[in-house]
């Protein structure tokens, strides 16, 4: 079983950048596909970006519009989300998650992810 801890959230002005990190422990990190999700108050949890085990394939939600980049360092057991050109609509709690099932491509479905971090708050002011 893997434990996930996010960091890097905070308050930023519109147009600014943040880099989120998610450190894993207890488990073989390279055997999990990883994803970033977000949940705004009163809304469902939505996918932001996902990446396969080796880091060669990534998928992004349409609203990312080329602003965010997901990456991973398996040696450091960490997955990152670089967020640029942030907008007030990006305000949410951001979660990282791990999918232990081997799939052809990384899944974007929330219910497919087995392990979740506690989340980190991102607030973008206008």
Residue 73 is encoded by which pair of tokens? 């360092």
Q: State the Cα angle at 15 between 13 and 21, rounded to 5°.
A: 80
Residue 23 is encoded by which pair of tokens? 């450190």
For the chain, the first-to-last Cα distance in angstroms comes to: 40
Q: What is the pLDDT of residues 89-112, one digit of tens each?
A: 999 999 999 999 989 899 999 999
Is the pLDDT assigned to residue 27 strictly greater than 90? no
Is the pLDDT assigned to residue 41 strictly greater than 90? yes
């Amino acid at each position: 079983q893997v434990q996930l801890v996010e960091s890097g959230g905070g308050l930023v002005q519109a147009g600014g950048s943040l880099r989120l990190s998610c450190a894993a422990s207890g488990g073989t990190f390279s055997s999990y596909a990883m994803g970033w999700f977000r949940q705004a108050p009163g809304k469902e949890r939505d996918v932001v970006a996902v990446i396969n085990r080796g880091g060669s394939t990534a998928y992004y939600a349409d609203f990312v519009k080329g602003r965010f980049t997901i990456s991973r360092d398996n040696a450091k057991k960490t997955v990152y989300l670089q967020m640029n050109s942030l907008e007030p609509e990006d305000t949410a709690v951001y979660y990282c998650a791990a999918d232990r099932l081997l799939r052809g491509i990384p899944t974007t479905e929330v219910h497919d992810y087995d392990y979740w971090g506690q989340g980190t708050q991102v607030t973008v002011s206008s």
